[in-house]
Structure 1
Amino acid sequence: MADLLSTGVSGLLASQVGLSTVGHNISNVNTAGYTRQTTTFNARAPQYNGGYYVGQGADAISVQRAYSQFLTQSVWSASSGQSRASQYATLTASVNNAVSGSANLQTALDGFFGSVSDVANAPIDTASRQAMIGKANTLVATFKSLSSQFQQLDQQTNQQISAAVDSINSLAKSIADLNGQIQKGYAGGAVPNDLLDARDQAVSQLSQIVGVNVTQTSDHMYTVSVGNGQPLVNGTNATQLSTANNQYDSSRLEVVGPGGSVISSQLGSGSLGATFDFRTNVLDPARNQLGRAAIAMTDAFNKQSAQGIDLNGAAGGDFFNIADPAVFNSTANKGTGSVTATVADVSKLDASDYVMRFDGTNWSATTTAGVTVPMTGTGTAADPFVVGGLNVTVGAGAVAGDSFQIQPTRNAASTMSVAVSDTSKIAASGPLAATKGASNTGKGVLGNLTVTDVTNPAFNTPATITFTSPTTYSINGGAPQTYADGDTITGPGWTLKLTGSPAANDTFSVKPAGSASGDNGNALAMANVATKGVLDNGVTTVGKAYSQLIAQVGTAGAQANTALTAQQSILDQATASQQGLSGVNMDEEAANLLRFQQSYAAAAQVINTANTIFNSLLTAVQG
């Protein structure tokens, strides 16, 4: 009965392995990355016994994962896409929150221009003037607040980039270590299932940070590359990535591979790729658009202020201050050349950043995206390069290969300030004032005095309009001209509208406005800056520029949310397919547990039966 005993023992041992496997599955039902394991059984070779074969039981020959490399890699790919979409949507939402938050620029613009209109209604009222300065400071504070929020987001992207690189390096080392352990496991003659799961889980976590490409070698080790083919893991060796300051702007980080090569643009999918894409496609354009609006506001308002007269009789000065475009030299430059830039034509200023390059003979300009930009001039102070509304001057000393980055608008809003603190310095008065002669006897009434050309050589020459009859007049004794009720009288660089019927010898005068003038001509013009086309060749107002900012960020947010919904669906489908094969099903495991429990008990009964028969034989022999 030794054969029967051996058969029963084999069944007992096989069922025990099955029970252990089921127990392992049940214990790891909540373990991330765990793959369901199954036990494979084989019948032992039968024993020939006089014309027939008698079976000798069963053996558990392997414990295998319910695993599909195709389905697993599909999950990695989908996870990478979903993580990218999620990160992009989250970061874009933060920009949306900034532009739609309490620091609403449109409200500040409306408040400021409303205060300018109040000054126009009461040109010499100190309270109105003080309110205008207060509203100007509020406007500047709003520009700066939004700029500060964008800068904080930029710093947060740096922190996320640094943290992501640390995680990539840690996971790469873990995968390389697991490669070594798995190789040793296979060398021992068994499949190290749990180590394989641990490695796949590490790759899954890596795929959420950056897109991965995984191949398996003949010795069961993974070779992993990221992005557009950057090697990361080769056998038991892991490449370490690092971060470095951007070659132009030291305030932002880039990812570099071995040898210091910048690979930021090659990272593709995953949360890290999304962070760089967000910075390039959403954050930078938003910062540039905000700065463009600040420059447009400053330029348009200052130009109009310069056409007026303040309460002291002096020509109006700048009402706002703002910094010139920022220029950064590349850390790779070998020469000693320099580049400076100023805004020459706001109407041609767009939201691009530029790179100026020197080939040893000629300079060229492109956007940071690599698009060639038309450029005129020679780069001297007398004949600067004209690039996208900028005047660019280059100093001597550059050598072939040197380059410079120009950020015309990036941080402009953060440098904006109010230049006027003295209420008397507000140039509310027009440069000219019209008065009616004190001895006039007719019914002529002064209307609007409009400046048409401040560059006219005789613009500031006092003019006296003398009516020789109710229908004729001359200017400073010049040729007689005809007049009818409501006509506009034209002078050197100005026009004056009169109504009514003057009498003979009535006079009207137009002369430069004096100090403490109650004229509101320039205040009205400054208030009209709100509706004046400044940007995009004189089409876009400052307020519309801000609306464009809100629209572009809102559109990016909507697109990001749509992409996230799609990627989440793809991930859910891939995960469901993979888990359908590899996931632990508790109902199935409960059934298997009962099955192996019963087979174990039955095998034990076979052993007991063999023992009973054997004891009966011994008793019979002894008797």
Structure 2
Amino acid sequence: MSLLNVGARALQINQTAIQTAGHNIANVNTAGYSRQTVALGTVPGQYTTDGYIGNGVDVQGILRNHSELLTRQASAAASVQAGDGVRMDRLKQLQDVFTGGATGLGAAINDMMNAFSDVVNAPTDLTARGVVLTRMDETAKRLRDASSRTDEIAATVENQMQGGINVVNNLATKVANVNQQIALARGNGQQPNDLLDQRDQLIRDINQYVQTSQVEADDGSVTLFVANSQPLVMGNRAATLSVGDPQNFNTNGAQKKLLFTPAGSTDKIELNEAVLGGGEVSALMRFQNTDLAEGRNLLGRLAVGISETLNLQNRQGLNLDGKLGENLFTSINLGQAVPGNRNTSSAVMGMEVADASKLQASSYVLNFSTGSSGTVTRQSDGKVFSFADMTELDTLMLGQGLRLTNGAAAPDTTLFSDAGGAADGDQFLINPLQNAASQMQAAQFSPRSLAAANPINAAMGAGNDGSLQLVSLKATGNPALVLPPNSDSTSTPPVPGGIELRFSAGSPITYQAFNRGVVPAEALGDPATYTPGQPVKMNGWEITLNGVPKTGDTVVVGNAADPKFGDIYQRDAGNASALLNLRDAKIFDGGTLTDGFSGAMAQIGTRTQSATFAAKLSSTIASNLENERAAVSGVNLDEEAARLIQFQQSYQASAKMIQIAQNIFDNLIQAVGR
């Protein structure tokens, strides 16, 4: 009977081994499956006087070929790879917004600025003027199109984040359910291998979206953590994740945060973006809050810089109708700063451009530690500025090109510092450039409205004996306030008008300014030293002269639209030259206006290049770790086929053993029967 038992047990064991090999072969393409092997052990022998007689073999268990360390490393690496890959893809889309070439925004800006050269050469040519305005309209359109494209990217990113979060929440619930099944199955003392594989695969799937860490409990269940500390799954309970605005500010989707709701609770906890790790959702959130925000800020600064600079210069000239120029682009409203949700005051903060050349492509968070002191954090680089009082706050923000206003009504030029009203602990999100490019609109469409002429003119005295020569004359301020008074030949006595500079020879040579808008002419200040080639600056205009004057020599600066000058202003291109020279004006981080887009393109390109390198590196690391994991857990069909043959032969031998035992038993019965 012992021989029969040994054979029967061996037959059953080999059948189990064959079934296990078949199970491996059947799951060779199953994601996350770990190869299983039968662990065999010798049955303790039976003691006899002749020694221990073997009792065959028994199954000790079905082993799961699995490395916990490699599985976790491969899962973490795959999470980083997923995040790097999706960020690279989105940055490439953003890079397309900042594309170069003839159809790019940079070409439109260059064409617009270069078009002023034709107006300089032919200021009365309506066609040349019309081309300038057409180029402006095209530049504005391309800026709006670029802004619209960033909005489309933002909407796609938000949908993708929301879809990813829905998947994570669904997978977390499944992990909780499998945890419960594993805990129940562990009661029999054996590992439920297929359930463990299923759970590991679910965890790997979660890590494609949000990176997790895990701790195994005594009952075999695992606790999954996100952001290093928040339990996404604990036992058979799953928390939920969601995407929303920061809890401090309602940003209308401009910034996104990952929110955690514990199981059985309705309270949402804002997770620290810095510790989210890898995964698609984490990467998309960083893209939204940093990469896309920078792209929008760069476009906004470009729009504000172009419109403010050209508008200001056009307002300092005269159009073909002899009137002061108006804005070439519609004014861009920077809007209001976003008050913190926990603010205790009702203070409202508006924003205006103080100096377009100082604008940074960034948003700011303003924190009041008291009602008049605190810090300003520039979000593009994390730099923190402190201010001890409201005057320092004004100075600080003026250094960033912004003026903070009361903002209670539009327009309202009352400074925020004068209005007061902030309370201890108040916060404001200053985000002036995010939507600026979407407001870019050409404001002038009539060629006559281009203010190509200088608003002032100059004439040398008819009786001058020296060698004075005019080098340049330009307005530097608001012409409506500083234009020299017009002449009036109908008054008694006649008013000659304008500002007269009277020179006196000597060492040094001096000059004195007189207002000829009143009779007799009124001296404006004390005599000043004249230096050839150095500009003479007065209220809102400056003139540069060369040569050496004689005593009594004069230069008259007057309103270009003054009747005594006739229609000379229509043929003047002084302001058109100033507009053309804006090509080389230092506007964007020390770069010129025409180089502004190139700088923005380089910044986005650098980010894209860095993200591409990171994606390739993380892909290599993830692939290597997955190969190492598969080397331990993966199914090799050749090996399984060899095992099938091995166990088949063992099975046949075991069946033969039973047959022999049966024959021996039959012969024994027959012998006893005789």
Give the TM-score band, short-chain normalised. Answer: 0.7 to 0.9
Larger CA deviation: 273-282 vs 66-75: 273-282
In the alignment, which residue of structure 1 is the partner of 2:226?
226
> C-alpha separation between the residues in 2 aligned to 1:167 and 1:458?
68
Given the alignment of the two structures, is residue 12 of structure 1 paired with residue 11 of structure 2, yes or no? Answer: yes
- Name whichever of 449-458 and 338-347 sits farther off: 449-458
Counterpart Cα distance in 1 of 2:544 and 2:220: 92
2:266 is the counterpart of 1:262: no
Task: Judge which range, 394-403 or 232-241, deviates more.
Answer: 394-403
2:401 to 383, 389, 405: 389
Give the CA deviation at 1:221: 0.7
Cross-structure match for 2:506: none
2:243 is paired with a residue of what secondary structure? Answer: strand
The 3-state SS of whatever aligns with 1:62 is strand
SS at match of 1:534: strand
| 2:450 aligns with one of 412, 422, 426 | 426
- Measure the CA separation in 2 of the matches of 1:489 and 1:322: 32
Residues 484 and 499 of structure 2 are in contact (CA less than 8 Å); yes or no, is this contact kept in structure 1?
no
- Structure 1 residues 445 and 311 mapped into 2: Cα distance closer, same or farther (>3 Å)? farther
- SS of residue paired to 2:318: coil
1:490 to partner: Cα distance: 7.3
d(CA) in 2 for partners of 1:457 and 1:611? 124
**Within 5 A, what are the aligned runs for 1:443-592?**
449-451=472-474, 459=484, 461-462=497-498, 493-495=541-543, 511-514=558-561, 517-536=570-589, 539-592=590-643
Q: Deviations over 1:463-490 (max 9, x none)?
A: 7999xxxxxxx999999xxxxxx99997
TM-superposition CA deviations, 1:531-585 (whole Å, max 9, x none): 111244xx32222222221111111112112212221222122112211111111
- Counterpart of 2:374 in structure 1 is 364
1:314 and 2:337 matched: no
The answer for the alignment partner of 1:337 in structure 2 is 347
Find the aligned partners of 1:330 and 1:465 in 2 and give their Cα distance.
57
Deviates more, 1:239-248 or 1:193-202: 239-248
Superposition map of 1:187-198 within 5 A: 187-198=187-198
CA displacement at 1:70 relative to structure 2: 1.1
Residue aligning to 1:99? 98
> What secondary structure, in the 3-state scheme, does the structure 1 residue paired with 2:257 have?
strand
Superposition deviation, residue 196 in structure 1: 0.3
Corresponding residue of 1:601: 652
User: Any idea what the Cα deviations from partners look like across 1:165-220, whole Å, max 9, x if unmatched?
Assistant: 21221121111111000011111343210000000011111122222111111111
Between stretches 322-331 and 36-45, larger displacement belongs to 322-331
Deviations 1:330-376 (A, max 9, x none): 33334322111111122322122112233453243422546422558
Contact 2:124/2:571 (<8 A) preserved: yes
Does residue 400 of structure 1 match 2:453? no
Provide Cα deviations, 1:9-29, integer angstroms capped at 9, x if missing partner: 111100000000000000111
Q: Which amino acid aligns with 2:348?
A: S
Q: What stretches of structure 1 of length at least 5 have no aligned partner? A: 467-473, 480-485, 500-505
1:282 partner amino acid: D
Aligned pairs for 1:13-28 (under 5 A) are 13-28=12-27
1:278 correspondence with 2:287: yes
Gaps of 5+ in 2: 262-266, 406-415, 486-496, 503-511, 524-531, 548-552, 562-566
Aligned-residue offset at 1:448: 5.6
Q: Which moved more, 1:159-168 or 1:490-499?
A: 490-499
- Matches of 1:600 and 1:222, distance apart in 2: 39
TM-score by length of 1: 0.88
**Equivalent pairs, count:** 607
Following superposition, the deviation at residue 405 of structure 1 comes to: 0.9
The 3-state SS of whatever aligns with 1:209 is coil
Task: Work out which of the residue numbers 317, 327, 334 in structure 2 matches 1:325.
Answer: 334
Residue matched to 1:211: 211
Give the Cα–Cα distance (whole angstroms) in 2 for the partners of residues 375 and 392 of structure 1. 14
- CA offsets per residue over residues 255-283 of structure 1, 9 Å max, x none? 21132221151422222222222223322
Q: CA deviation at 1:616?
A: 2.9
Partner Cα distance (2:427, 2:95) in 1: 34
Distance 1:32 1:487 in 2: 81
One-letter code of the match for 2:363? D
Distance 2:61 2:331 in 1: 75
Q: Distance in 2 between matches of 1:122 and 1:306?
A: 20
Superposition TM-score, scaled by structure 2 size: 0.81
Over 3 Å counting, the alpha-carbon distance change for 1:221 and 1:464 in structure 2 is closer
1:361-406 C-alpha deviation (Å, 9 max, x unpaired): 3243422546422558737999997462211133565443332211
Instruction: Give the secondary structure class of the aligned counterpart of 2:376.
Output: strand
Cα separation, 2, equivalents of 1:387 and 1:364: 17
Instruction: Determine if contact 1:450/1:495 at 8 Å carries over to the other structure.
Output: yes
Instruction: Give the distance between the partners of 1:90 and 1:491, measured in 2 at CA.
Output: 55
RMSD of aligned alpha carbons: 3.7
Q: What's the CA shift for 1:138?
A: 0.3
What's the counterpart of residue 494 of structure 2? none
Counterpart-to-counterpart distance in 1, 2:297 and 2:345: 29
- Which of 250, 253, 260 aligns to 2:252? It is 250
Contact 1:377 1:383 in 2 (8 A): no
| Higher deviation after alignment, 94-103 or 80-89 | 94-103
Worse overlay, 381-390 or 88-97: 381-390
Distance in 1, matches of 2:161 and 2:483, equals 63
In structure 2, give the amino acid aligned to 1:572.
S
Deviation digits for residues 91-126 of structure 1, max 9, x if unmatched? 222211221167511100111112222222221222
Match of residue 503 from structure 1: none
Task: Kindly state the Cα deviation for residue 447 of structure 1 after the two structures are TM-superposed.
Answer: 7.1
Give the whole-Å Cα distance in 2 for the aligned partners of 1:576 and 1:382.
Answer: 59
The worse-fitting range, judged by mean Cα deviation, of 221-230 and 237-246 is 237-246
Q: Which moved more, 1:60-69 or 1:387-396?
A: 387-396
For residues 97 and 421 of structure 2, the distance between their equivalents in structure 1, rounded to whole angstroms, comes to 43
Q: Which amino acid aligns with 1:251?
A: G
CA shift for structure 1 position 498 = 9.3
Matched position secondary structure for 1:220 = coil
- Residues 394 and 404 in structure 2, CA contact (< 8 A), matched pair in contact too: no
Instruction: Measure, in 2, the Cα distance between the counterparts of 1:255 and 1:433.
Output: 63
> What is the percent sequence identity of the aligned residues?
30
Structure-1 residue corresponding to 2:314: 305
